[in-house]
Amino acid sequence: MSIYLDHAATTPLRREVLDAMLPFLTETFGNPSSAHAYGRAARAALDDAHERVAARLGAEAREIVFTSGGTEANNLALKGAAWAGKARGHRIVTSAVEHHAVGHTLRYLEKFGFEIVELPVDRYGRVDPDELEAALSDRTILVSIMLANNEVGTIQPIGPIAERVRARKGILLHVDAVQAAPWIDLDVRDLEADFVSIAAHKFEGPKGVGVLYMRHGTHILAQQHGGSQERHRRAGTENLAGAIGLATAYELNGVERPEAVARIRTARERLAEAVLAVDGTELTGHPFDRLPGLLSIIAQDTDGNAVAVALDLEGIAASVGSACATGSTEVSHVLSAMGYPEDEARGSLRLSLGRTTSDEDIDVAVEVVPRVLASLRRGSAAVARDPFGQGDGGRHSTTSVPA
């Protein structure tokens, strides 16, 4: 038995996507910058990929920049806009729950004199648009707020946020939509954003390729220099097969999204009911305005890493939060920002479903996950009562997860 409940970290590559990519890894292998027939064929395919992604985002093909993934897309938007706008101002406004690809990039910019204003969030992980508005000043050049959180699934009120940003002329808005893209129908005209980041591997596309939507007329300083690829915004020979894979996966995702969202939301609620029936468990993130495939909880008196390991031994893949922070000894910055003390935050667990999650997978998960959580909580309680194992005549006791 092997059940994958970590789709928020990455998703399996769809067979249809691989089939679409293979010709561009074999016979149509040309460099899109070459003038001969091989290059022209590659260029035509790359231009078509720009068109296809743009059509899904409600954008123009010239507004699509292919990158090496969501992290590079975020870096290009933030660094590119910051350096291009520094003559006008130095303030950048963001939230306390952004992905590290945003948060760490802004910490880097801080070293060069940029002022980073990190907005607090409520217990659900949401930004207050009024607090954001109050943080804007004449020296503000950029606002970066994610659409949906990668750890707890909370969806931010981007509409009201964009409205407030748009009311202040000259401030750019970046939306990290990497986690949201598989589940939310993105239209850049509705988002009213200047930059939007997505990554293929979150919706069954290949790893190593992403997109930065950049509103036409928006000025940035390129962060990667060399050739004139991607309209001088991102130098380097394009990952043609990756671009084809992203475009194909995003099209398939868009067609199937309504049915997938309804089915997966129902499956998540079924799993949530079973998991939250365990004493000492609590849902994290917004109860309603959240991604349909993401269930995040805290289990008191447990360690999330120990729970994840125990589930792995039972054949269920889960995580404690962002895959980019796995192995860190620090608690989640997202949960800390939401007001959870360190001892509670250490009991976090993220179960994330995807299109390939079956009803049979959930049948198993609703039995195994609560059992593992309850067992580990009982074990923690026993250790708390008898920390030195004296209750068995001096022998140190151990607690194992029942088979």
> What is the domain class of 258-382 according to CATH?
alpha beta
Q: What is the pLDDT of residue 381?
A: 57
Q: Where in the chain is the domain with CATH 3.90.1150.10?
A: 258-382
pLDDT of residue 400: 35
pTM of the model: 0.93
pLDDT averages per 10-residue partition of the chain, 403 residues: 94 98 97 97 98 98 98 98 96 98 98 98 98 98 98 98 96 98 97 98 98 97 96 97 98 97 98 98 97 97 96 97 60 96 96 98 98 88 55 42 35
- Domain 15-253 listed as CATH 3.40.640.10: yes
Cite the residue boundaries of each domain of the chain with CATH code 3.40.640.10.
15-253
Pick the catalytic residue: 317, 324, 364, 383? 324
Clarify whether 324 is annotated catalytic.
yes
Per residue, the 3-state secondary structure of the chain, as one string, reads CCEECECCCCCCCCHHHHHHHHHHCCCCCCCCCCCCHHHHHHHHHHHHHHHHHHHHHCCCHHHEEEECCHHHHHHHHHHHHHHHHCCCCCEEEEECCCCHHHHHHHHHHHCCCCEEEEECCCCCCCCCHHHHHHHCCCCEEEEECCCECCCCCEECCHHHHHHHHHCCCCCEEEEECCCCCCCCCCCHHHHCCCEEEEEHHHHCCCCCCEEEEECCCCCCCCCCCCCCHHHHCCCCCCCHHHHHHHHHHHHHHHHHHHHHHHHHHHHHHHHHHHHCCCCCEEECCCCCCECCCEEEEEECCCCHHHHHHHHHHCCEECECCCHHHCCCCCCCHHHHHCCCCHHHHCCEEEEECCCCCCHHHHHHHHHHHHHHHHHHHHHHHHHHHCCCCHHHCCCCCCCCCCC
